Structure 1
Amino acid sequence: MQDELHNKLAHLKEYIKELDSVAIAFSSGVDSTFLLKVAHEILGDNVMAITVQSGSFPKRELNEAIAFCKKEDIRHKVCQVDEMKIEGFSQNPPNRCYLCKHALFEKIGAIAEKNEIAYVAEGSNMDDLGDYRPGLQAVAELGVKSPLREAGLTKAEIRELSKEMGLSTWEKPSFACLASRFVYGETISKEKLIMVENAEQLLLEHGFRQFRVRMHGRMARIEVLPEEFLKLLQEEVREDIVKQFKQFGFTYVTMDLTGYRMGSMNETLDKKN
């Protein structure tokens, strides 16, 4: 098992080496941090991290991205994008992720070209092929490289290798952009994105590990791991969450009894088919 894992790592390193120079879309998450670390070890200054700052990207993640690149002495460019100006984004259609990713990777590609970097890469892994991910269509259309998928690495394997490399992100909870918190067809606005960001930051401060706050109108649907249900229902915790969520702008605060799972908004697509 370990031999297979390290064969995949060797394949990844060889693939990256052949790229010669690469700009990596860096979110500070588990996958992109691992990819950036490996790429920098292989290509050194021929690697650039590019982080997109937008309303869909929490400030804490941006700060972590900046801190990591500074610590590792990696070239880092932060570019600002107003996703509300992307045609169709705010209407939140089922292909919203495609529209957004296409615009973002076009911007990242332009920065890479300006810096004479040959390729753009992103951090999707093999597990991402098992869910509805229209953003991967944009990745394919624009010729963006996906080294982790090329090497056949799963999320669990990336966490294991990250731990071996001493990366603190090996146990970091999975994250997705804040726009994924809205039911398809519901209008996304800067105000709503701030509400969700504040709500999830509060859950983080209460010590919850893996969670989402899904938004339905002015109702918040909280997803936490089933083993953390009782913690959420502790009187002091529950009352503080309700109080502060209402201050953030929510009218109703609910708990999803199914618990946290990736892509729960995609369940509505299944019902339409």
Structure 2
Amino acid sequence: MSTDTPSPLSAELSKKHEALKEHLIKLGAVAVAFSGGVDSTLLLNVAADVLGDNAVAITARAQMIPAREIREASDFCAKRGIRHVVMDVDALTIPGFADNPTDRCYLCKSALFARIIDQAARLGIPYVAEGANTSDLGDYRPGLKALGELKVDSPLLAAGLSKADVRALSRKLSLPTWDKPSYACLASRIPYNEAITAEKLRSVEHAEDALMDAGFPQIRCRAHGDLARIEVAPDQRAALMDALISTDLTKRIHDAGFAYVTVDADGYRTGSLNQNVPV
């Protein structure tokens, strides 16, 4: 993580920051669906700053969410004294989820956020907010439809913040996630219409843990049966090949449950399994 001193915020970004705070103040009390990622961390931090104890974090603990992410989310809240509820969910019981259709994210978010809304209501919190930003509007994201149907608030979107804005503002606020790589749920590593099982999700999680432990923070392990297709940034492919050959990294990926390991020549890109999905 870089320790360079951040540059002052531009007038435009300062205006967006103020718009975000004003939006949250109008809500009065909010439960933030908190994954511990870049976007929800900024949202939660600003909400806690302007709302104090009227901001609460709710994190779903489910098979498709890496344990590493749950730990980081819990640590962040503990260090800042933010009320944090970890809600256990059996994702494989969500109707249709395990079948892995192209609208899997819609099915999942519909079920998860319905439960988060119920949990927030039990805590006396009238609004639920999540961390979508304007950069999320350009990819195939059926989950956004579910959020709209459930009337989940998206304050970063309302303030006009892009992913680059979120990172710049997070850096200015000294949030540890400002340069954290983007992650997505582990189910996104399994090709559509291939059944999702707890074993497959666990294999992907353990393989990605091995890759991150080896010093590759921005990665994906796409699971194609017993073959692991590894995506890293193009400028890290040579280092990855060296690590696979000269360290125990390949063994750890095999031990995770993959018979074969391959490196994707195209490198890391968000939503590579969405490229053939009609939108």
Q: TM-score range by the shorter chain?
A: over 0.9
Q: How many corresponding residue pairs?
A: 271
**Quick one: which of 75, 80, 85 aligns to 2:83?**
75
The CA deviation string for residues 157-207 of structure 1, in whole angstroms up to 9 with x for no partner, is 111111110111001110101011010001100000000000000000000
Once the 2 structures are TM-superposed, how far is the Cα of residue 245 of structure 1 from its aligned partner?
1.6
Letter in 1 for 2:32: I
Unaligned runs of 5+ in 1: none
Q: TM-score scaled to structure 2, two decimals? A: 0.95
**Quick one: which of 104, 113, 120 aligns to 1:105?**
113
Tell me whether 1:141 sits opposite 2:140 in the alignment: no
The CA deviation string for residues 58-91 of structure 1, in whole angstroms up to 9 with x for no partner, is 1111011111111110111000000000011001
Rounded Cα–Cα distance in structure 2 between residues aligned with 1:237 and 1:131: 35
Tell me, what secondary structure is at the counterpart of 1:143?
Answer: coil
Letter in 2 for 1:24: V
Tell me, what secondary structure is at the counterpart of 2:132?
Answer: coil
Rounded Cα–Cα distance in structure 1 between residues aligned with 2:73 and 2:243: 35
Instruction: Give 4+ residue runs of structure 1 displaced > 4 Å after superposition.
Output: 235-239
Once the 2 structures are TM-superposed, how far is the Cα of residue 145 of structure 1 from its aligned partner?
0.2
Rounded Cα–Cα distance in structure 2 between residues aligned with 1:218 and 1:177: 19
Rounded Cα–Cα distance in structure 1 between residues aligned with 2:138 and 2:243: 38
Tell me whether 1:13 sits opposite 2:28 in the alignment: no
**Quick one: which of 32, 38, 50 aligns to 2:40?**
32
Letter in 2 for 1:171: D
Once the 2 structures are TM-superposed, how far is the Cα of residue 236 of structure 1 from its aligned partner?
5.6
- Measured at CA, do residues 235 and 62 of structure 1 come closer, stay the same or move farther in structure 2, by a change above 3 Å? closer
The equivalent of 2:204 in structure 1 is 196
**Quick one: which of 62, 67, 71 aligns to 1:63?**
71
The equivalent of 1:168 in structure 2 is 176
**Quick one: which of 55, 63, 69 aligns to 1:47?**
55
Rounded Cα–Cα distance in structure 2 between residues aligned with 1:136 and 1:236: 37
**Quick one: which of 89, 101, 104 aligns to 1:96?**
104
- Measured at CA, do residues 18 and 51 of structure 1 come closer, stay the same or move farther in structure 2, by a change above 3 Å? same
Rounded Cα–Cα distance in structure 2 between residues aligned with 1:16 and 1:40: 10
Q: If each structure's helix is expressed as a fraction of its own residues, which one has the higher value?
A: 1
Once the 2 structures are TM-superposed, how far is the Cα of residue 235 of structure 1 from its aligned partner?
5.7
Once the 2 structures are TM-superposed, how far is the Cα of residue 249 of structure 1 from its aligned partner?
1.3
Tell me, what secondary structure is at the counterpart of 2:124?
Answer: coil
Kept in 2, the 8 Å contact 1:231–1:237? The answer is no
CA RMSD, aligned part only?
Answer: 1.2
**Quick one: which of 234, 240, 245 aligns to 2:253?**
245
Percent sequence identity is: 52
Tell me, what secondary structure is at the counterpart of 2:57?
Answer: strand
Kept in 2, the 8 Å contact 1:22–1:119? The answer is yes
Kept in 1, the 8 Å contact 2:131–2:154? The answer is yes
Once the 2 structures are TM-superposed, how far is the Cα of residue 32 of structure 1 from its aligned partner?
0.3
Letter in 2 for 1:136: L
- Measured at CA, do residues 23 and 237 of structure 1 come closer, stay the same or move farther in structure 2, by a change above 3 Å? farther
The CA deviation string for residues 245-265 of structure 1, in whole angstroms up to 9 with x for no partner, is 222211211111000000000
Kept in 1, the 8 Å contact 2:43–2:131? The answer is yes
Rounded Cα–Cα distance in structure 2 between residues aligned with 1:258 and 1:139: 32
Rounded Cα–Cα distance in structure 2 between residues aligned with 1:180 and 1:245: 18
Rounded Cα–Cα distance in structure 2 between residues aligned with 1:205 and 1:65: 19
The equivalent of 2:136 in structure 1 is 128
Once the 2 structures are TM-superposed, how far is the Cα of residue 269 of structure 1 from its aligned partner?
1.5
Rounded Cα–Cα distance in structure 2 between residues aligned with 1:223 and 1:77: 33
Letter in 2 for 1:149: L
Unaligned runs of 5+ in 2: 1-8
Rounded Cα–Cα distance in structure 2 between residues aligned with 1:131 and 1:23: 26
The equivalent of 2:194 in structure 1 is 186
Once the 2 structures are TM-superposed, how far is the Cα of residue 49 of structure 1 from its aligned partner?
0.2
The equivalent of 1:87 in structure 2 is 95
Tell me, what secondary structure is at the counterpart of 1:261?
Answer: coil
